[in-house]
């Protein structure tokens, strides 16, 4: 329901310096008036200014003293009347403030409901609403850059630009529907095909950013693998900057996979330390090794660690499917003990002496930029939902193009074009949104 008034704690729960509660909806001021008190009525206070107020529960017991902000519709985040309170960030105080707002007539907000209202009230399109959560989840500078680009409307603008390209094509084709005796002239046909080709090219370019989008949103899956005892966990710890995994001279130390997110040159990596690969009788170790094999199959990047102080002939290398070869970086660890001269290629490293990490970071960046088709200067990165829409657009425009070239009745061409326009509308959320809204906003934080 859009017409009720909702409230939530917008900051993380826990002891903190300040906490923020938000109320939005037509009764926001009415609700707030029952909880927040100052010399004047809230309605008479100037909007968008901080006012020092006292918060009281229904019995008149003082809960907190804090700052109140009023935003009047439509000039607010949600486009509705919004009241915000910045209080002392205690767990109990904050909970009691929310309870009082609920007792005063507000309903507890669902996850993402503030942003959902901003979308429904036309404050942002669906790609911008999605970007709000991308921004909060961003774990690397490139991911943050892409989120800002999307929040600024870059993807929505591109979708609308494609719509502007297709609309005149549709209008042209539809004009012929009314004059069945007239054929589309070859010249006109060629110019319509050229316009469709342009749309196909731009849509394909967007689809190509989805791989970069996946890596920026979820991190490049990076598997550290190799024989037992070569220093895989030492490498994880080194890249993380703290002692996360247990390191010991005993082979078979790591049995379960350990995952951590790190950032390398602005790219998020989901780093997985695995059990050393060797044939083993030990049941637990065997399960760990099977898990490693599974991780290898879906890895974006494979960091294979060997003991570089030993000859290559002494190393049991990890066998990879051919297509995974290009994703592997060979790390010659324990270089402090003297690199064996027979190794060719690979990045010399010493986890204990902390030598070679920068070279490794550069190699990681180069490889991920490659396999993920990443472009540091082109931070647009569509998500999985956009990708499905744009792929549909490509096949619908392609169908229209074929129909036009084959001299099909203009009705058929128009049908495909209308479908493509519909899919473009889905990207920004102007059509067919009901079913997807719940999916999108349920992954949001409460109070966002
Ligand atoms: N305290 C607080 N901080 C916050 C938010 C918030 O809602 N409250 N935001 C929530 O995510 C973000 C900021 N986003 C906002 C976006 C628009 C408007 C707003 O009032 N828009 C009006 C006026 C625009 C203007 O003055 O230029 C509008 O769009 O009409 C407020 C916050 C991050 N920080
Ligand atoms: N000299 C030297 N020793 C290292 C280096 N890196 C790791 N080690 C040592 O090698 C041993 C094994 O290190 P780990 O990081 O536990 O090796 P692992 O590959 O995770 O081993 P498993 O989990 O058992 O498969 C430890 O004693 C480390 O201190 C290095 O660069 N130089
Ligand atoms: Mg280990």
Q: Is the CB of 337 under 6 A from ligand 2?
A: yes
Between the CA of 222 and the centroid of ligand 3 the distance, in Å, is 15
| Residue-by-residue pLDDT tens, the chain, 448 positions | 578 999 999 999 999 999 999 999 999 999 999 999 999 999 999 999 999 999 999 999 999 999 999 999 999 999 999 999 999 999 999 999 999 999 999 999 999 999 999 999 999 999 999 999 999 999 999 999 999 999 999 999 999 999 999 999 999 999 888 877 777 787 888 999 999 999 999 999 999 999 999 999 999 999 999 999 999 999 999 999 989 999 999 988 888 888 999 999 999 999 999 888 776 667 777 777 777 788 888 899 999 999 999 999 999 888 887 888 899 999 999 999 999 999 999 999 999 999 999 999 999 999 999 887 887 776 789 999 999 999 999 999 999 999 999 988 899 999 999 999 999 999 999 987 787 888 899 889 899 9
Nearest to 66 by CA among 5, 20, 12, 7: 20
Q: Is the CB of 440 under 6 A from ligand 2?
A: no
Distances (CA, A) of 326 to 219, 275, 321, 334, 344: 18, 22, 10, 24, 16
What pLDDT does residue 277 have? 78
DSSP secondary-structure letter at 205? H
Q: Which residues pair with 267 in a beta bridge?
A: 264
234 among the known binding-site residues?
Answer: yes
Which atom belonging to ligand 1 lies closest to the Cα atom of 84? 1
What pLDDT does residue 276 have? 81
233 among the known binding-site residues?
Answer: yes
Burial of 141 from C-beta contacts in 10 A (0-12 / 13-18 / 19+): middle
22 among the known binding-site residues?
Answer: yes
Domains observed in the chain: 6-124 (3.30.1360.120), 128-209+382-429 (1.20.120.430), 221-371 (3.40.50.300)
CA 444/CA 289 separation, integer angstroms: 36
What pLDDT does residue 280 have? 67
Q: Is the CB of 350 under 6 A from ligand 2?
A: yes
For the record, the structure tokens of 65 come out as: 């003293």
CA 420/CA 389 separation, integer angstroms: 9
CA 300/CA 397 separation, integer angstroms: 32
What pLDDT does residue 1 have? 59
Q: Whose CA is nearest to atom 15 of ligand 1?
A: 77
Between the CA of 294 and the centroid of ligand 2 the distance, in Å, is 23
252 among the known binding-site residues?
Answer: yes
CA 349/CA 336 separation, integer angstroms: 8
Q: Whose CA is nearest to atom 23 of ligand 1?
A: 75
- Structural element, H or E, at residue 37: strand 36-37
Which atom belonging to ligand 1 lies closest to the Cα atom of 20? 1
Which atom belonging to ligand 2 lies closest to the Cα atom of 333? 31
What are phi and psi for residue 222, nearest 5 degrees?
-120, 120
157 among the known binding-site residues?
Answer: no
CA-based torsion, 317, 319, 325, 327: positive or negative = negative
Mutate which of 77, 114, 116, 441 for ligand 1? The one with the most ligand atoms within 8 Å of its CB, which is 77
Whole-prediction pTM: 0.89
Which atom belonging to ligand 1 lies closest to the Cα atom of 123? 29
171 among the known binding-site residues?
Answer: no
Q: Is the CB of 332 under 6 A from ligand 2?
A: no
Protein residues whose CB sits closer than 6 Å to any atom of ligand 1: 20, 71, 74-77, 84, 123
Q: Which value does ipTM take for this structure?
A: 0.88
Burial of 348 from C-beta contacts in 10 A (0-12 / 13-18 / 19+): middle
Ligand closest to CA 85? 1
Between the CA of 285 and the centroid of ligand 3 the distance, in Å, is 12
What pLDDT does residue 3 have? 83
Between the CA of 356 and the centroid of ligand 1 the distance, in Å, is 45
Pairing of strands 267-273, 220-226: parallel
Q: Is the CB of 333 under 6 A from ligand 2?
A: yes
Between the CA of 100 and the centroid of ligand 2 the distance, in Å, is 56
């Amino acid at each position: 329901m859009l017409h009720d008034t909702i409230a939530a704690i917008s900051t993380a729960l826990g002891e903190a310096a300040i906490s923020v509660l938000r109320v939005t909806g037509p009764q926001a001021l009415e609700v707030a008036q029952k909880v927040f008190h100052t010399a004047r009525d809230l309605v008479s206070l100037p909007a968008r200014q901080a006012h020092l107020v006292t918060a009281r529960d229904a019995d008149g017991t003082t809960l907190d003293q804090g700052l109140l902000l009023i935003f009047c519709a439509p000039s607010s985040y949600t486009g509705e009347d919004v009241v915000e309170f910045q209080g002392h960030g205690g767990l109990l105080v904050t909970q009691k403030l929310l309870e009082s707002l609920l007792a005063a007539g507000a309903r507890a907000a669902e996850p993402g409901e503030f942003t959902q209202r901003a979308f429904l009230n036309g404050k942002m399109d669906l790609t911008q609403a999605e970007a709000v959560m991308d921004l909060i989840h961003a774990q690397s500078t490139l991911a943050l850059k892409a989120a800002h680009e999307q929040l600024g409307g870059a993807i929505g603008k591109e979708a609308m630009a494609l719509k502007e390209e297709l609309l005149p094509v549709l209008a042209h084709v539809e004009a012929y529907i009314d004059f069945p005796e007239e054929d589309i002239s070859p010249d006109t046909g060629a110019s319509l095909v050229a316009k469709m080709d342009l749309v196909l090219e731009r849509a394909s370019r967007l689809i190509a950013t989805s791989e970069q989008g996946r890596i920026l949103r979820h991190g490049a899956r990076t598997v550290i693998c190799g024989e037992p005892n070569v220093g895989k966990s030492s490498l994880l710890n080194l890249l993380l900057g703290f002692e996360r995994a247990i390191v010991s001279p005993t082979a078979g130390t790591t049995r379960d996979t350990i995952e951590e997110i790190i950032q390398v040159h602005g790219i998020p990596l989901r780093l997985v330390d695995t059990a050393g690969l060797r044939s083993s009788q030990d049941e637990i170790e065997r399960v760990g090794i099977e898990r490693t094999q599974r991780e290898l199959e879906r890895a974006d990047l494979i960091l294979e660690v060997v003991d570089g102080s030993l000859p290559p002939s002494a190393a049991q290398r990890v066998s990879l499917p051919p297509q995974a070869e290009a994703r592997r970086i060979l790390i010659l660890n324990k270089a402090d003990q003297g690199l064996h001269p027979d190794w060719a290629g690979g990045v010399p490293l010493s986890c204990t002496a902390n030598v070679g990490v920068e070279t490794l970071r550069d190699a990681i960046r180069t490889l991920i930029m490659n396999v993920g088709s990443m472009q540091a200067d082109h931070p647009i990165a569509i998500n999985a939902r956009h990708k499905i829409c744009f792929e549909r657009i490509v096949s619908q425009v392609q169908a229209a193009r074929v129909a036009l070239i084959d001299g099909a009745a203009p009705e058929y061409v128009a049908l495909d074009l209308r479908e493509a326009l519909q899919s473009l509308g889905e990207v920004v959320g102007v059509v067919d949104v009901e079913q997807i809204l719940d999916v999108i906003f349920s992954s949001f934080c409460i109070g966002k």
